[in-house]
Amino acid sequence: MATTPALTIAERVGALVRIPSVNPLQAGPRSGSDGERAISSWLADQADALGADVTVDEVVDGRCNVYARFAGTTDRSVTIDVHLDTVGVEHMTDDPFDGRIEDDRVYGRGSVDTKATLAIVMSVLDELRTEGRTPLPTVNLVGTISEEMGGLIGASRYRDWLSEQGARINQLVVAEPTLCAPVHGHMGGVGLEISVHGHAAHSSKPHLGKNAISAAARIVLAIDHEQQRISALAPTTSVGNGAVSVTEISGGLARNIIPDGCVLYAGRRTAPGEDPMAIFEQLSAIVRRAAAPLDVSIELANGMASAAFYQDPQSPIVQTLVRHSGCQPDVASYGSNALRYGEIADEIVLFGPGSIDQAHQAVEWVAIEQLAKAADIYRALLSNAS
């Protein structure tokens, strides 16, 4: 099989970087307002040109998932999920979309997270078509919107679309920067949006009011105490224990008014085996006790909670990637679209070139050496019997 030179793949990564696809919830003056629309169109057009059966599925506001099916020659199938959105660029210190190649790296927003994988998979499929060959497994290349922020609605929609078709995923590779190691687990998440209800009064007579900020401070301390309790537990898997913290707080009307309201956000990372809704109820009870005698309203962030992702490291897809990559299975500290696929996929693994340490940075890049390694692994995955 003739292989695409690593530099050519790097040039394709650079071309994708030059298609801005900043998540609309993180958009700013430098990012434009197109979201994932342009890159969704690119993927649909390119996949169609390579002979795929392409479905463009609008998720919200003209932002579309793309499902490209490349028929294989065996009864196996491999699904590759690549999220099309990137994080914001306002903090970047160079041109976020130049896609330049320099110092054996490709630079720009999305270069490592996760346009590198999109470029690699398309390059490998292009190689096969050029040679008149067909991948052994059927390849479902899925481009999803809104992974970086917004409740993983792209992945949720693809899951629901599969259910509507009466279909399941056999083996799913979720594209993330893993240094080409198969990642078989990471935390889930539960978010609490908390509103404390107080009563305003003149600050010279605080006894006439109910200070919402004081109650919020007690909530913060209670959440900190809960984190201490969690951290002392014995972890049940290599993913480790969950974690909880208050990461946003806002309140107050003026310097001379007892505040009648305060809002907080508390985020809880869930470990494998934890029931996310049970965690939500437990944390809600902690918040209410801490705020008393003031009342609170508590909403589940994004309307959903996520159990942790955990795949047996001895499962076939993980061990196949171990064999092809030479890397041992690992776990991650971040989250991914894998959180939405547990009900619909038999096996799930995270895999991709580059390091998560380069993602979301003021300067983002991926090493060309990592592109070459990941491309070799994808060639083996799509061309070998297992």
d(CA 262, CA 218): 12
- 294, two tokens: 């003031």
Give residue for tokens 């690119």.
42
Tens of pLDDT, residues 180-226? 999 999 999 999 999 999 999 999 999 999 999 999 999 999 999 99
Give the number of other Cβ atoms within 10 Å of residue 274's Cβ.
20
Q: Mean pLDDT over residues 68-87, rounded?
A: 97
- 366, two tokens: 């991926």
- Is residue 357 very low, low, confident or very high in pLDDT (cuts 50, 70, 90)? very high
Report whether pLDDT(385) > 80: no
Q: Mean pLDDT over residues 14-28, rounded?
A: 97
Contact between 163 and 36 under an 8 Å Cβ cutoff? The reply is: no
Q: Mean pLDDT over residues 342-369, rounded?
A: 97
Report whether pLDDT(237) > 60: yes
pTM of the model: 0.91
Say what the pLDDT of residue 66 is.
98
The single-letter code of the amino acid at 329 is P
The single-letter code of the amino acid at 30 is R
Q: H helices of 261-333, where? A: 276-291, 316-325
d(CA 352, CA 179): 6
Report whether pLDDT(231) > 90: yes
Q: Mean pLDDT over residues 24-36, rounded?
A: 93
Contact between 263 and 250 under an 8 Å Cβ cutoff? The reply is: yes
Among 296, 309, 300, residue whose Cα is nearest residue 281: 300
The mean pLDDT value of the chain amounts to: 96
d(CA 62, CA 65): 10
3-class DSSP state of 46? helix
The domain ranges of the chain are: 6-185+308-383, 188-303
**Is 2.130.10.10 the CATH number for 188-303?**
no
**Is 3.40.630.10 the CATH number for 6-185+308-383?**
yes
Report whether pLDDT(11) > 90: yes
Contact between 21 and 33 under an 8 Å Cβ cutoff? The reply is: no
Among 145, 146, 143, 127, residue whose Cα is nearest residue 135: 127
Report whether pLDDT(8) > 70: yes
Contacts of 229 (CB under 8 A, 6+ apart): none
Say what the pLDDT of residue 376 is.
97
Say what the pLDDT of residue 5 is.
85
d(CA 384, CA 386): 5
Q: Mean pLDDT over residues 300-315, rounded?
A: 94
Say what the pLDDT of residue 33 is.
83
